[in-house]
């Protein structure tokens, strides 16, 4: 089986889907690995390292897409401006694509439809269930760790004030206030990082257990008013709330958000569009110079006006909608991602071929397109709403 590793083409994306260490593992397992030249340069992984690991270096990505049985990527397929062709158009029927597809997000619906039409079998990494036997496959958790850490550093850089309390010869400067919405892996890392930087931290999550974890890191809880029986889905994930309860949650958060210097948004529902927790009217009420870092933007964003993939100032508030925050830590995030990807491929491959067992929760949750059809439940639901 041939595994193709093209260079990522998203603007500012320095990660790559396989480190030389991971390539050596694939080769030892009997796979042929094609790596696009300079694919790992941004993450400090060099062509000579890939060659030593046993990879075949390819200059033209079209050749990689044409020859490979499986394409592994970090980010969803995009239009390649240098070649004037979409990455999906370079793929062929029956070819597997493993990457972060974020298929439920409205901005990706057209791309998912293209995948189905092309006959590509799409497997999305954001669908890996958070169960014990899938922990070492879970790239989303790894990247969430990176995003939580780096996202707070970005917010601190955007602020026009100090993060910690400062005692100076001319007086005391109060510490920044940071609210984290959604206390999953990224949210906990964001709280810990903000605390290390000296901020006063607040947290909100509709799941009582997640909220309790936030208090263990010293955060003050903001009551969302959502009953626990409505909040918790299978596996301990947050549940998709009816609009009436989302309105109540927004109102519960409104007064706290007005006082914040930084709001870190990481509230997600697996396979669904991210819930809108901050409306444009709420942004207008925020302090001028405050910052929203919306790492849920891949699934639509928690803030109504977060610019996808961009940083903008709206109503005096800095809105960070950068979609590849882990890519700003390219070496560490590539190493973590590569291990997750290798473990997933090894899990799926039986007798030299990918075997998708639809009775297996992992296979069922990651499958997006197959036999020319979109089969991902959350995507189909989101498309109907759109």
Query: How sure is the predictor about 272, in pLDDT bands with cuts at 50, 70 and 90?
Result: confident
HEC per residue, the chain: CEEEECCCCCCCCCCCCCCHHHHHHHHHCCCEEEEECCCCHHHCCCHHHHHHHCCEEECCHHHHHHHCCEEECCCCCCEECCCCEEHHHHCCCCCEEEECCCCCCHHHHHHHHHHHHHCCEEEEHHHCCCCHHHHHHCHHHHHHHHHHHHHHHHHHHHCCCCCCCEEECCEEECCCEEEEECCCHHHHHHHHHHHHCCCEEEEECCCHHHHHHHHHCCCEECCCCCCHHHHECHHHCECCCCHHHHHHHHHHHHHHHHHCCEEEECCCCCCCCCCCCECHHHHHCCCCCCEEEEHHHHHCCCECCCCCCCEEEECCEEEECCCCHHHHCHHHHHHHHHHHHHHHHHHHEECCEECCCCCCHHHHHHEEEECCEECCHHHHHHHHHC
Query: How sure is the predictor about 24, in pLDDT bands with cuts at 50, 70 and 90?
Result: very high
Strand 121-124, strand 367-370: pairing: antiparallel
What six digits make up the tokens of 237? 């994930």
Between the CA of residue 215 and those of 94, 188, 209, 218, what are the distances in Å?
A: 48, 10, 10, 5
Whether the CB-CB separation of 268 and 299 falls below 8 Å is answered with yes
Please state whether the predicted TM-score (pTM) of the whole model is above 0.85: no
Whether pLDDT at 186 is above 70 = yes
Q: Which residues pair with 251 in a beta bridge?
A: none
Average pLDDT, the chain: 94
Residues 6+ apart with CB under 8 A from 228: 206, 207, 208
Whether pLDDT at 204 is above 90 = yes
pLDDT in tens, 280-334: 999 999 999 999 999 999 889 999 999 998 999 999 999 999 988 998 999 999 9
Q: Exposure string (b/e) for 322-361, b if CB count within 10 Å is 16 or more?
A: bbbbbbbbbebbbbbbbbbbbbbbebbbeeeebeeeeeee
Between the CA of residue 38 and those of 43, 45, 88, what are the distances in Å?
A: 10, 8, 21
Our measurement of the distance from residue 28's CA atom to the centroid of its chain's CA atoms, rounded to an integer in Å, reads: 30
pLDDT of residue 229: 81
Burial classification of residue 132, based on how many CB atoms lie within 10 Å of its CB (0-12 exposed, 13-18 middle, 19 or more buried): exposed
Whether pLDDT at 222 is above 90 = yes
pLDDT of residue 271: 67
């Amino acid at each position: 089986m041939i595994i193709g590793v093209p260079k990522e083409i998203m603007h500012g994306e320095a990660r790559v889907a396989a480190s030389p260490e991971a390539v050596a593992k694939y080769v030892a397992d009997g796979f042929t690995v094609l790596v696009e030249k300079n694919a790992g340069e941004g993450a400090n992984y060099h062509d000579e390292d890939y060659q030593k690991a046993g990879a075949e270096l390819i200059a033209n990505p079209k050749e990689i897409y044409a020859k490979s049985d499986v394409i592994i990527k970090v980010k969803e397929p995009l239009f390649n401006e240098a070649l004037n062709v979409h990455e999906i158009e370079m793929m062929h029927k029956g070819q597997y694509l493993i990457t972060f597809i974020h298929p439920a997000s409205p901005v990706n619906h057209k791309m998912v439809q293209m995948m189905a039409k092309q006959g590509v079998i799409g497997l999305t990494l954001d669908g890996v269930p958070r169960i014990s036997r899938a922990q070492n496959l879970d790239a989303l958790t790894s990247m969430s760790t990176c995003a939580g850490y780096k996202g707070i550093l970005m917010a601190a850089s955007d602020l026009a004030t100090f993060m910690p309390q400062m005692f100076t010869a001319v007086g005391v400067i109060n510490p920044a206030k940071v609210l984290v919405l959604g206390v999953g892996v990224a949210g906990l890392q964001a709280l810990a990082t903000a605390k290390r930087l000296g901020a006063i931290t607040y947290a909100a999550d509709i799941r009582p257990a997640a909220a309790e974890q936030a208090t263990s890191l010293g955060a003050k809880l903001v009551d969302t008013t959502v009953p626990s029986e409505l909040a918790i889905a299978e596996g301990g994930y947050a549940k998709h709330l009816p609009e009436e309860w989302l309105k109540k949650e927004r109102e519960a958060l409104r007064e706290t958000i007005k006082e914040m210097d930084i709001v870190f948004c990481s509230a997600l529902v697996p396979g669904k569009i991210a819930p809108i927790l901050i409306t444009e009217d709420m942004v207008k009420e925020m302090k001028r110079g405050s910052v929203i870092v919306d790492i849920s933007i891949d699934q639509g964003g928690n803030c109504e006006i977060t610019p996808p993939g961009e940083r903008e100032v709206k109503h005096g508030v800095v809105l960070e909608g950068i979609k590849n925050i882990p890519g700003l830590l390219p070496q560490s995030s590539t190493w973590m991602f590569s291990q997750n990807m290798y473990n997933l491929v090894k899990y799926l491959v039986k007798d030299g071929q990918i075997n998708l067992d639809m009775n297996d929760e992992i296979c069922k949750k990651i499958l997006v397109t197959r036999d020319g059809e979109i089969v991902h439940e959350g995507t189909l639901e989101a498309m109907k709403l759109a």
